[in-house]
Structure 1
Amino acid sequence: MVTTAHTEPTEVDGATERLWAAAASVTDPELPMLTLADLGILREVRVEADGTAAVWITPTYSGCPAMAEMRVDVDRAARAAGFDRVEVRTALSPAWTTDWITDEGRRKLTEHGISAPGEAPRRPAGPVPLTLAPTRTVPRCPLCGAADTEELSRFGATSCKSLHRCRACLEPFEHVKEI
């Protein structure tokens, strides 16, 4: 049974539903207010004929260091849900995009003072064109809602976030970059 980002399994039996719920409850180690389901990286769950609980997750970007911790946490959650054999697998295609963050995930980010990403850039099918100029967005302040913000650093606490300051309330905040 294949799921797409943002949706729960459509062919549900008790074990599959239990596995989905366990994997969906795991939080992201870098953004702990978000579950893997909120983030849109939980791709598929399946209880195979031999009883193996298989869970597919997609990295937010190539080489994401949080993937190792996510695997351990998904394994632990599935075992706590009663599965003895667990395999956490990686789905690389299609590549993750910030568009897969759920509305609930975006709400949680803002609630925690982090600016949610805007719409990801659209690219034509085929080779990705190389652009040497950085793409910059001007996010709204998640604290006061002002649009007058400035980027302080292209990299925040993690490489998927940038650091900004609101010119209206003068508060710093992080922004999840559009991918």
Structure 2
Amino acid sequence: MKAENALPAAAQRVADRLVSLGHARPVIMLPASGKTSAEAAAGLACSVAEIAKSIVFRRLSDDAAVMVIASGANRVDEGKVAALVGPLGKADARFVREHTGYAIGGVCPIGHLRETIILVDQDLLHLASVWAAAGHPHAVFKLSSAELLAMTGAQAVDIAARDAPA
């Protein structure tokens, strides 16, 4: 691979991990940031719902990282997540990097430095494919929701905030 086409180190780690898992689709570098679901969707010309955003929390009982992979169209209900894993706290940038190995804005669902509790938004199961961060704010990869569950060993759960009817 030519130097100008090389992936950033964290994205290359993800690309190598995907190959080791037998995933055939490449890591793609977006021309602009994919830090937010809207930015990533615009860069990929897909719906915001197809962006599998990763949000990391800190479980208060043992400082474990809890990652929620949610549809970009959904807001995560922290109460629902806490009901599944225990009381949660905020995960700052240092905590996220120490546990996952990735910086906020590019946290990949796989290849974490430490064991991470992972929950997948059940709404992602209704989509043919989703796009996940690949270790860098500009890097993403495409996969099916079944592949996401298989790669992470996560369970699909209801974690989306549902607004009450008016």
Question: Would you say same fold, with TM above 0.5?
Answer: no
- Structure whose residues are more often helix by fraction: 2
- Structure whose residues are more often strand by fraction: 2
- TM, length-normalised to structure 1: 0.23
Larger Rg: 1
